[in-house]
Amino acid sequence: MDAVAGEPRTLMESALKRFSGAADSGGLLHVLGDVAPVVGGTTRSVLKSIEYHNGTLELGVHTPDVPTLDLMRERLGNVPGLKAEVTAANSLDNGVDGRLRIAGAKP
């Protein structure tokens, strides 16, 4: 294993900024921190997938019905600095598989 030059704390902080997006602009960790209470507080829904690219978070969720999916979108949209939209809703026998796109509000 090759040694990496540099102070460990500085190297770790740099890596975290790269993976989460620049800390100043929000990034993945910031958006997840804002979204988690809403998604975690929706007890009748299941988070199925998370994707993050170009400053946009996409969540795949399973909800019992379309109104529950829309309520989740509304609650996410009420978080200051976030904009949320439903990009897909597929009805199944046991509920709805949906997709939510969440982005930070543009200044």
Give the separation between CA 88 and CA 105, rounded to whole angstroms: 21
Span 77-88, pLDDT tens digits: 999 989 999 999
In sequence order, which residues have a C-beta less than 8 Å from that of residue 5 and are 6 or more positions away? none
End-to-end Cα, the chain, rounded Å: 45
* Cα 50 to chain centroid, rounded: 6
Query: Phi then psi for 64, rounded to 5 degrees?
Result: -70, -25
* pLDDT score at 106: 44
Taking the C-alpha atoms of residue 107 and residue 103, their distance in angstroms, rounded to an integer, is 12
> Which tokens belong to 67?
């109104």
**pLDDT for 22-77, tens place per residue?**
444 567 778 888 888 888 887 788 999 999 888 889 999 999 999 999 999 999 99
What domains can be seen in the chain, in order of their start residue? Answer: 24-104 (3.30.1360.100)
Position 41 scores a pLDDT of 84
User: What's the rounded mean pLDDT across residues 94-104?
Assistant: 92
